[in-house]
Each structure stands twice: as structure tokens, then as C-alpha cells.
Amino acid sequence: MAKIEQILELERLERDIFRGIATETMLPRTFGGQVAGQALVSAVRTVDEHFHVHSLHGYFLRPGNPVMPIVYLVDRIRDGRSFTTRRVTAVQDGQAIFTMSASFHVLDEGIEHEDVMPPVPAPEDLLDAASLASEEKSWEFREWADWDLRYVPAEQIQRRRGVPVQQQVWFRSREELPDDPVFHICTLAYMSDMTLLASASTTHPDTPIQSASLDHALWFMRPFRADDWLLYDQSSPSAGFGRALTQGRIFNREGHLVAAVVQEGLTRFLRRD
């Protein structure tokens, strides 16, 4: 499998046109986090350094072909004094497979508050997911062998009243990553698609479904490192009509809320015809 440094190292074809590599995968289609991460890198490369990415909103339009590289077309929508906006279209074989808007901010001063991280076991007290013998999940651990994923056991999650679905996962890169803060932000865009949609199925463990990401939104609140432990506190407020809404809060080890994610995904019954 390609390292995250290789995945996020795009080739610049033109001023606002970039190409990302195809990567080895066990998935039948390109991993959504890879497309989102590469798209964000392409947007970042067209923005002045004093602007910091604070949000992205993306739509997965078609399944990506994992054996083909992806071309990213960047539109410079707006260059303002405080905010800058970019729109990125990911293209394969002449068709758009993903579109994303990314917003950048100069970092102003204003009011401050944040959610408190829920009480959870420390990652060192949990099993490395790669060591688990669960056959139905083993492909995940081989696919993302570079990432240390540690699930909080369901019986150790402190349930919030009125929340039907909860899942908590500690995660980090197994290897030390470059110090560039922008690289960690783009890495989190890649990692944020891991495990989130699967949280919607935790209360339906024996129901075979077809799943795929439909749209993905991510907000960055505070600095972090993707090679330090991050807690992904996930929930699914609603599922119906073959779709599920999922959301996640990402905290660093010190308990600060560093990012928030909302995703809708396909969760329809698996068709056997």
C-alpha cells in the first residue's frame, strides 16, 4: 500500500490542474478519503500561505476507478482579505467523480468555547485493531495497515441519552509524519472517511447492506497532529430510505476539539439479484 506522503504528493500539470497517483487497494472503488485528501491538497496549492483551510464540503458523484490516476481541476472562486474559496473537481476518464468546495481563513480573534471530550479508556488500554481476529473486519486492518485504529468496546461507551448510535475510535498514523501543519490537515481529510459510515451499522450488525459515501463535510477548529492519538467520537442521528447521516467529533489526546465531520452515506439493503 502507498504511504500517505505518496498519496498526498500531487503532480502539477498546469497552474490549477493536478494529478494524484493510483494506489494499491482491496476496495472495488477508490477510497473516498483518498479523493478528499488529494482534492484538498490541490486546493491548498493555489492559496497564499497566510490562509488556513477551515472547512471543506464534498460530494461523491461516481465511484472512482482505483487503478487510474485522478486529475483535479481547481477553480479560484474568491480571493478575499479574510476568506478565500476554491472549488475542486476530480476527474477520471473525462467524467467528474467528486466535487468539493474548500474555504480558507486568515485566523481572526473572537469568542472561544468547545465541547468536553467524553470519558473514554486511554488508547494504550485498548487492543490494536490489527491484532483482532474478527474476520469481517480484518480487511480494514490490512487496507489501512499504516493507521493504528483502536475501537472503544461498546460496553465501555458512556451512552448519551436520546442518541441511538454511538461509536468511538482512537486513531493515529503508526509512523511519524512531516511537521508541516497543512500536511496533517490534508491527512485528516483522508482519515476522516475511515470508520465513520460504518458507525451507522453498529445497531444493525446482522443486516447486510451496500454502503458508500455520498457527501462529506469537515471543519478544522484547532491545531493537531495526525501521528498523535485522536479520538473519533461518532454518532448516527438518523437512517432511512437507504441513506444514513453520520457525524463525528475529533478530539486530541489533551481533550481539545480539533475537527468536526458530517457525512451522509448509502446504507441500502444488499440486493442479491
Residue 174's alpha-carbon distances to 54, 196, 238, 262, in angstroms, are 25, 20, 33, 25
Q: 131 exposed, middle or buried (CB, 10 Å; 0-12, 13-18, 19+)?
A: exposed
For β-strands 230-240 and 243-252, DSSP reports them as: antiparallel
Question: How many beta carbons lie within 10 A of that of residue 143, not counting itself?
Answer: 16
Give me the catalytic one of 92, 192, 213, 236. 213
Q: Determine whether 128 is an active site residue.
A: no
- Strand-by-strand arrangement of the 257-269 sheet: 11-14, 17-20, 70-79, 83-92, 95-105, 52-60, 209-220, 257-269, 243-252, 230-240, 166-173, 147-151
- 167 catalytic per annotation: no
The one catalytic residue among 148, 193, 215, 233? 193
Give the separation between CA 147 and CA 125, rounded to whole angstroms. Answer: 17
227 catalytic? Reply is no
Could you say which of 92, 201, 235, 263 is catalytic? 263
**Cβ neighbours of 26 (radius 10 Å):** 11
Residues serving a catalytic function are 193, 213, 263
